[in-house]
């Protein structure tokens, strides 16, 4: 692609000012940060998330409409109605988790030593599940998700997880309608509850309880807000995106504990991930 030299120099200088390029005389090269996060071959490539955010430009332009009506400005279909949108969404979530390191940190700090079977519910490409299986050789995992997502998950797993793919089963599952296909020792939900309203999250916790063996563990990773709903700041701002595209928002520990208790779970605990670079927390609870 050819670009006009003067305009290109203006762009390159701006990128150098932002630290994405390094300028030496009239020559430009990628900075270390750009090589790490903006090169597709990098394991920490963040481009998937950048492309996803760019595709939401029009939705953000309708924020005033969402605030007036209280309703999303697009169909809250979790990007399932268009194959290109589905892939953009799934690869965005995957690239953000890989670039920031959430999955590796969670696998290192979550105690799954007594767990033999785990479901990544709404797990997308299994970014977390793969790290769990790599850390625990005796563990078997399943991804329960929608059909459009599972098709992409299968491709990504073959691209990057050949070492554990024989211990992963993909199951088509819509937690709004389907009964759990089997029981397992643990269920992991990353960034799931923030897409749903309070009623559906309570129902989801009941579904998780039915899907667990006695003594099983539910693990919720998400922005977990304080009771004032202003901390962490990233969660408060992210709730505006959720207003635009989903039925949900970010929730407090108090709210989540209530759903867990109503569904029959015991001993809820919360672990805050170190910030920076993270802005999430992990909540665990046990099925009696």
Sorted by sequence, the CB contacts under 8 Å of residue 207 that are 6+ apart come out as 175, 179, 180
Q: Give the pTM.
A: 0.93
CB contact at 8 A, 59 and 230: no
The torsion angles phi and psi of 125, rounded to 5 degrees, stand at: -85, 10
What are the start-end ranges of the H helices in the chain?
5-17, 32-37, 47-55, 57-60, 63-69, 83-100, 102-109, 127-135, 147-160, 198-211, 233-245, 253-263
CB contact at 8 A, 190 and 219: no
**Cα-only R_g, the chain:** 20
CB contact at 8 A, 95 and 48: yes
> Tens-digit pLDDT profile for the chain (288 aa)?
789 999 999 999 999 999 999 999 989 999 999 999 999 999 999 999 999 999 999 999 999 999 999 999 999 998 999 999 999 999 999 999 999 999 999 999 999 999 999 999 999 999 999 999 999 999 999 999 999 999 999 999 999 999 999 999 999 999 999 999 999 999 999 999 999 999 999 999 999 999 999 999 999 999 999 999 999 999 999 999 999 999 999 999 999 999 999 999 999 999 999 998 999 999 999 999
Q: Which residues are catalytic?
A: 194
Q: What is the DSSP-derived secondary structure letter of residue 184?
A: E
Name which of 288, 286, 269 is nearest 109 in CA terms: 269
Domains of the chain and any CATH numbers: 5-30 (no CATH), 100-286 (3.40.50.150)
Q: Per the structure block, which two tokens stand in for 224?
A: 């977990």
Q: Per the structure block, which two tokens stand in for 215?
A: 């003594």
């Amino acid at each position: 692609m050819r670009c006009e030299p003067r305009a290109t120099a203006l762009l390159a200088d701006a990128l150098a000012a932002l630290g994405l390029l390094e300028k030496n005389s009239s020559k430009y090269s990628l900075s270390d940060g750009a090589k790490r996060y903006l090169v597709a071959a990098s394991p920490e490539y963040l481009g998937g998330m950048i492309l996803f955010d760019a595709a939401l430009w029009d939705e953000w332009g309708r924020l005033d409409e969402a605030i007036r009506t209280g309703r999303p400005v697009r169909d809250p279909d979790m990007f399932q109605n268009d194959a290109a949108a589905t892939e953009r969404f799934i690869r965005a979530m995957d690239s953000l988790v890989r670039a920031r390191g959430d999955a590796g940190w969670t696998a290192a700090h979550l105690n799954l030593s007594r767990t033999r079977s785990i479901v990544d519910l709404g797990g997308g490409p299994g970014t977390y599940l793969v790290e769990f299986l790599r850390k625990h050789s005796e563990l078997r995992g399943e991804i329960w998700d929608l059909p459009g997502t599972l098709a992409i998950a299968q491709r990504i797993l073959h691209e990057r997880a050949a070492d554990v793919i024989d211990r992963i089963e993909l199951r088509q599952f819509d937690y709004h309608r389907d009964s759990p296909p089997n029981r397992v020792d643990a269920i992991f939900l990353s960034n799931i509850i923030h897409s749903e309203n309070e009623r559906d999250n309570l129902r989801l916790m009941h579904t998780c309880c039915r899907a667990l063996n006695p003594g099983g563990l539910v693990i919720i990773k998400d922005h977990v807000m304080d009771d004032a709903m202003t901390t962490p700041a990233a969660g408060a701002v992210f709730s505006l995106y959720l207003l635009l595209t989903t039925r949900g928002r970010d929730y407090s520990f108090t709210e989540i504990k209530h759903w867990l208790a109503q569904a029959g779970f015991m001993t809820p605990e919360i672990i805050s991930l170190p910030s920076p670079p993270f802005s999430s927390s992990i909540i665990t609870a046990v099925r009696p």
